[in-house]
């Protein structure tokens, strides 16, 4: 990925005056990259003398609780004091990190939409961002938003400005969005960035341990159950899916984030090129899609589930029952294959 010099100049302009009131927002069901990029960006902006508040629509998963500064992130859903709404109302600048459409903020969308005075800046790596941003750093060829934030910090302030806390936050984003450096845009430049982050003295094995080895017993057992009892393989062994009902999740004391990563597991099977996970929520079913190589699940999510994402990782929602959703998936996969998209 290459930064646009013109965009950097405009960003510089927007940040020239110290003391700007800034809100950083990220997507619903915030993941390691959403939180990591937000925390690092907030910290560098504070260093420039701005007043910054990070806001997420709902709670981040518990395995990110240890991150420095996370306790200051306002969770809009449980923000009874109205801190987020007030900050958005008063903001000069709103940075939108790690999502491409305001609708991805769900319950927070209205608050952001209704603020007409703040300038909106997008920093993101999803395909096809919405129009309507004052300034965009849209880099679908970046493996994570944290990597884009790194490149902007490098260009704007130099890497000497990166504190260990910022380095840790960006590393979490880079690590989680690449599946622990195993897929998507593993460029030499990304590893150069990682080397710079490592030089700040952060403890890489400890970060890995904090994120990937901090689950509950229930999560481990739910994983076994999902793979053994719920994984179905169709399309001559090339497509997989799994589903979890609320009753099944309750049985394993489900906490938000517990099914994170399950969808990837089907892709460890040599023949499987595409995998889906259906997780029931109170009012809808959340769909996660993953693929290998040229199989484009962003296209699939857009066409069949009104969603989107990246070529090899996308998602969407269904408001039908679990069985209807699965039937729709199976039919859609067959059509997708007939149209030549499964290779």
Report the half-sphere exposure of 158 (CA within 13 A, side-chain side).
2
Following DSSP, what letter does each residue of 143-172 receive, concatenated? S-HHHHHHHHHHHHT-GGG--HHHHHHHHH
Long-range contacts made by residues 46-49, C-beta under 8 angstroms, separation at least 24?
47/157, 47/161, 48/15, 48/18, 48/157, 49/18, 49/19
User: What is the distance of C-alpha 283 from the center of its chain?
Assistant: 21
Does 84 interact with ligand 5GP (rule: CB under 6 A)?
no
Give min distance, CB of 251 to Mn ion, in A. 31
Residue 30 contacts which entry, ligand 5GP, Mn ion, none (Cβ below 5-8 A, type-dependent): none
- Pattern of binders to Mn ion over 27-46, x per CB under 5 A? ------x-------------
DSSP state of 59: P
Residue 177 contacts which entry, ligand 5GP, Mn ion, none (Cβ below 5-8 A, type-dependent): Mn ion
Report the half-sphere exposure of 82 (CA within 13 A, side-chain side).
3
Does 288 interact with ligand 5GP (rule: CB under 6 A)?
yes
Sequence-separated (6 or more) residues with CB below 8 Å from residue 1:
139, 141, 142, 147, 148, 151, 185, 187, 189
Q: Which of 36, 45, 98, 309 binds Mn ion (CB under 5 A)?
A: 98
C-alpha distances (whole Å) from 253 to each of 84, 201, 265, 277, 322 are 30, 37, 21, 19, 20
Residues between 123 and 142 that touch ligand 5GP (CB under 6 A): 126
Compute how many residues bind Mn ion; rule: CB under 5 A.
Answer: 4
Residue 327 has a CB neighbour count (10 Å cut-off) of 12
Residue 33 contacts which entry, Mn ion, ligand 5GP, none (Cβ below 5-8 A, type-dependent): Mn ion
Give min distance, CB of 207 to Mn ion, in A. 17
What separation, in Å, do the N-terminal and C-terminal C-alpha atoms of the chain show?
A: 28
C-alpha–C-alpha distance, residues 38 and 94, integer Å:
12
Report the residue closest to ligand 5GP, judged by CB: 315
Residue 310 contacts which entry, ligand 5GP, Mn ion, none (Cβ below 5-8 A, type-dependent): ligand 5GP
Following DSSP, what letter does each residue of 222-253 receive, concatenated? HHHHIIIII-EEETTTTEEEEEE-HHHHHHTT
> Could you tell me which stretch among 54-62, 201-209, 304-312, 322-330 binds ligand 5GP (CB under 6 A)?
304-312
Reading the block at residue 308, the tokens are 């989107």
Residue 307 contacts which entry, ligand 5GP, Mn ion, none (Cβ below 5-8 A, type-dependent): ligand 5GP
Give min distance, CB of 146 to ligand 5GP, in A. 13
Q: Which of 87, 315, 326, 333 binds ligand 5GP (CB under 6 A)?
A: 315
Does 50 interact with ligand 5GP (rule: CB under 6 A)?
no
Does 307 interact with ligand 5GP (rule: CB under 6 A)?
yes
Residue 316 contacts which entry, Mn ion, ligand 5GP, none (Cβ below 5-8 A, type-dependent): ligand 5GP
Residue 317 contacts which entry, Mn ion, ligand 5GP, none (Cβ below 5-8 A, type-dependent): ligand 5GP
Does 146 interact with ligand 5GP (rule: CB under 6 A)?
no
Does 22 interact with ligand 5GP (rule: CB under 6 A)?
no
Does 177 interact with Mn ion (rule: CB under 5 A)?
yes
Q: Which of 309, 312, 333, 342 binds ligand 5GP (CB under 6 A)?
A: 309
Residue 38 contacts which entry, ligand 5GP, Mn ion, none (Cβ below 5-8 A, type-dependent): none
Helix and strand numbers (H, E) in the chain are 13, 12
Specify whether the backbone of 144 is left (phi greater than 0), alpha (psi in -120 to 50) or beta: beta
Q: Which residues bind ligand 5GP (CB under 6 A)?
A: 126, 288, 307-310, 313-317
């Amino acid at each position: 990925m290459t930064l646009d010099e013109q965009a950097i100049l405009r960003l510089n302009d927007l940040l020239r005056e110290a003391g700007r009131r800034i809100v950083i927002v990220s997507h619903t069901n915030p993941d390691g990259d959403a939180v990591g990029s937000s925390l690092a960006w907030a910290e560098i902006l504070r260093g420039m003398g701005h007043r910054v508040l990070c806001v997420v629509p709902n709670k981040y998963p518990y395995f990110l609780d240890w991150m420095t500064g996370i306790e200051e992130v306002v969770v809009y859903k449980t923000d009874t004091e109205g801190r987020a709404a007030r900050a958005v109302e008063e903001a000069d600048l709103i940075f939108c990190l790690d999502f491409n459409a305001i609708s991805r903020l769900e319950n927070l969308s209205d608050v952001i939409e209704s603020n007409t005075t703040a300038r909106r800046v997008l920093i993101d790596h999803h395909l096809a961002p919405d129009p309507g941003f004052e300034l965009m750093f849209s880099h679908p060829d970046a493996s994570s938003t944290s990597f884009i934030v790194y490149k902007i910090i490098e260009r704007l302030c130099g890497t000497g400005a990166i504190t260990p806390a910022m380095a840790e936050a960006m590393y979490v984003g880079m690590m989680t969005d690449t599946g622990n450096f195993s897929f998507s845009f593993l460029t030499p430049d990304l590893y150069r960035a990682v080397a710079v982050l490592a030089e700040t003295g952060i403890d890489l094995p400890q970060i890995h341990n904090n994120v990937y080895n901090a689950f509950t017993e229930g999560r481990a057992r739910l994983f076994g159950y999902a793979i053994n009892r719920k994984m179905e393989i169709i399309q001559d062994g090339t497509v997989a899916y799994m589903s979890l009902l609320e009753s099944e999740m309750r049985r394993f004391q489900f906490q938000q984030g517990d099914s994170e990563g399950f969808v990837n597991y089907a892709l460890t099977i040599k023949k499987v090129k595409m995998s889906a996970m259906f997780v029931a929520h109170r009012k809808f079913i959340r769909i996660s899609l993953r693929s290998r190589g040229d199989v484009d699940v962003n296209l699939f999510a857009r066409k069949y589930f009104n969603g989107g994402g990246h070529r090899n990782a996308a998602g969407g929602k269904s408001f039908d029952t679990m069985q209807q959703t699965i039937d729709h998936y199976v039919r859609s996969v067959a059509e997708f294959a007939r149209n030549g998209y499964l290779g």
